[in-house]
Chains A and B, each alone.
Chain A
Amino acid sequence: MLKIIVCIKQVPETQDVRLDPVTHTLKREGIKSIINPFDLYAVEEALRVKEAQGGKVTLLTMGPPQAEEALREALGYGPDAAVLLSDRAFAGADTWATALTLGRAIEKLGGADLIFTGKQAIDGDTAQVGPMLAAILNIPFVAWARKLTFTDNNRLQVERMMDHGYDAVEVELPALITVVKEINEPRMPSFKAKLKAKKEPIPVWGLNDLGFQPEQVGLAGSFTQVVKVFPPPARGQSETWEGPAPELAARLWQRLKEMGRS
């Protein structure tokens, strides 16, 4: 029986996130919260491992109370249980404080043989929480996995994406794996699981449940601090041309050559 944990995150649907043309700030009104798209591949892979090897899949997320929606939605794909980590003291956590909180929860759950995360969350795009969580739990990990094969009960061969192509590495369990979307094709949520998900009790663990002091977690426990946010540098004047192809091509090449010289 493998104990499998999938860490997921509720994120704003960034394709809807738009900058206000006047104030250059993000307009969040009416923007849907979704499960971080990469996490769905992590959930799917966990379910596939469970189906092949036997085991239990538990979902874990840290977030505001409404992150429970993300857990219920993800339960609709078939995981067995879910835990929400939510406390005002957790708010404003950087990747370290997030990983620390998740790590403590995983210990409270009795540890795991296999932990999955998506390769990164689409709001912050840091890809740091997974590797940091592995460090905190002191277990090996492989990032950017596109294929998993069990070589024996306790060993996984993982194909991972790299700048140069793909490598195969072998890792002993317990281990943490971050997955890219190439790894599988997530199934559709099942009607039965969705029904069950509606009624599934989801424990909410806060500061005291995890035995933290307020200064260890959230903004206070973070090692990094945002000091300034600003709109990206404005693009130069845009120009659009129409006309016969050779003319357009010549104009473009002229421009590129000028750029090359400057």
Chain B
Amino acid sequence: MSLIFYAEKCTACGQCVDVCPFGILRLEGGALSIAEGCNLCGACVEVCEPEALALPEEESPSPRPEVPPDGVWVFAEQRHGELAPVALELLGEASRLAGTLQAPVAAVLLGDKVDHLAPALLTGGAQKVYLAEHPLLAEFLEESYAAALTELAQKFQPEIILAGATYAGRAFIPRVAAALKTGLTADCTAFAIDPEKRLLLQTRPAFGGNIMATIITPRTYPQMATARPGVFKALKPASSGEAGSITGQRPVPLNNLVAGEIIRVELESLKTSPQSRFIKTVAEIKERVPLGAAEVIVCGGRGLKEAKNIKLLEELADLLGGAVGATRGAVDAGWIPYAHQIGQTGKTVAPKLYIAVGLSGAAQHLVGMQSSDFIVAINKDPHAPIFQVADMGLVGDLFDIVPALIQEIKKDKG
């Protein structure tokens, strides 16, 4: 299937060239050329007044199978008995989507001795919790987690599966999608339902956030997506003091007031021994707030000048309940470990507040943070590119402004 072009109708106006998000349309000597890479997004067709461009009719579209019965699933990621915040965020979103679909919401809880987490999932929006407990699931392992979720999905047939775009989620969810022979969209930042066709509209940034794309899985079930932590809202936000750590005391008598059903499942797929095994955690990031889940990130660059000045960022981050990030420059200088790196070769983050301190804003850094809700830039150089993406820019010496800001916050908080 490719874009249809009626050369005789083309007026070489160039409108299509301008709107093509993939830059594959060119006007060469008054003739339109279409390079490879078209994914039939239709942007050019919409602007083409003489109707010289058209989308192909789908050739004998395979009929969409019947809608599976089990509604919207959320993979409830946990580690060592603590839920990842994104699990509740996605349950909140799943509840909204399921409202439109008139479908149930279920959480899938995999682990070992994790049943105490089920009530939080039920209050968080799930009507059902599928609970699979097994020693092989005590620690995250791509193979076992993929086998478990695949088996559950085959058995109970969800219409949609959502999971957090965490390191674990992005590692094993693609394997589940491939095993179920269905589509998967990574790292979504918005969802909606096309009510007529019951399609999940999955929106994600591409090209480092330079464009947004809305993607569907039109012919197969379940429709699957991973979603960025921190983007969606939990139904009942945990009070700020316990964000990210919904640790109940085990064993918890399942509260009668919590409506819903907990379905324990014995998994066949875990009866054969896996070809990989977890050995141990070799290094634990000590931060109280992991970068991926942080609502506030204070990020420093080469302007910090020395390793010891990372402390300045830490102090500010602590006051704001946030995490510390760094540019590649600061990481390569050895001031802070790679796990803190934000940007093209590090992590992509989108916190509510991003404070960029002493970093110029190289394109490789911007692609890792420009989806943040509110960006503050502190830099000596008023021409630094970071000011172009900042909502609020402060021009000045970070060694004056950051301590002053810390003072200000402390004064306020008493």
Contact between A168 and B174, CB atoms less than 8 A apart? no
Tell which of A53-61, A106-114, A140-148, A197-205 binds the partner.
Answer: A140-148
Instruction: Collect the chain B residues with CB atoms within 8 Å of residue A139's CB.
Output: 275
A36 to B400, CA, bound (A): 40
Given A28-B23, A229-B214, A231-B212, A253–B408 Cβ distance below 8 Å?
Answer: yes
A253 to B404, CA, bound (A): 10
Contact between B38 and A91, CB atoms less than 8 A apart? yes
Chain B 329-369 residues near chain A, CB threshold 8 A:
338-339, 344-345, 348, 353, 362-364, 367
Instruction: Collect the chain A residues with CB atoms within 8 Å of residue B173's CB.
Output: 131
Contact between B168 and A162, CB atoms less than 8 A apart? yes
Min CB distance A135 to B, Å, is: 4
A-B contact count (CB 8 A): 313
What's the interface size class on B, roughly? 35 or more
Contact between A219 and B276, CB atoms less than 8 A apart? no
Chain B 1-53 residues near chain A, CB threshold 8 A:
1-2, 18-24, 36-43
Q: Among B210, B284, B395, find the residue whose CB has the most chain A CB atoms closer than 10 A.
A: B210
Contact between A232 and B393, CB atoms less than 8 A apart? no
Tell which of B66-74, B183-191, B231-239, B256-264 binds the partner.
Answer: B183-191
A17 to B362, CA, bound (A): 13
Instruction: Collect the chain A residues with CB atoms within 8 Å of residue B59's CB.
Output: 215, 220
Contact between B41 and A228, CB atoms less than 8 A apart? yes
Contact of A132 with B by CB under 8 A = yes
Given A231-B211, A245-B400, A252-B394, A96–B285 Cβ distance below 8 Å?
Answer: no
| Partner of B201 from A124, A219, A227 at Cβ < 8 Å | A227
A140 to B142, CA, bound (A): 8
Tell which of B89-97, B109-117, B217-225 binds the partner.
Answer: B217-225
Contact of A64 with B by CB under 8 A = yes
Chain A 152-176 residues near chain B, CB threshold 8 A:
157, 159, 161-172, 175
Q: What is the 8 Å Cβ interface bit string for chain A, positions 83-103, against chain B (1 contact, 0 not)?
A: 000001001101110010000
A residues contacting the other copy or chain, number (CB 8 A):
96
Given A28-B22, A166-B281, A17–B208 Cβ distance below 8 Å?
Answer: yes
| Residue positions of B touching A, CB distance < 8 A | 1-2, 18-24, 36-43, 59, 79, 84, 139-143, 146, 166-168, 170-175, 177-179, 181-187, 201, 205-220, 274-285, 290, 292-293, 320, 338-339, 344-345, 348, 353, 362-364, 367, 370-371, 374-376, 382, 387-397, 400-401, 403-405, 407-409, 412
Nearest 6 A-B pairs (CB), nearest first?
Answer: A28-B23, A223-B183, A245-B400, A135-B178, A249-B404, A143-B171
| Residue positions of A touching B, CB distance < 8 A | 12, 14-20, 23, 25-29, 31, 37-38, 64, 88, 91-92, 94-96, 99, 122-132, 134-136, 139-144, 157, 159, 161-172, 175, 180-182, 215, 219-220, 222-232, 235-236, 238-243, 245-246, 248-250, 252-253, 255-257, 259
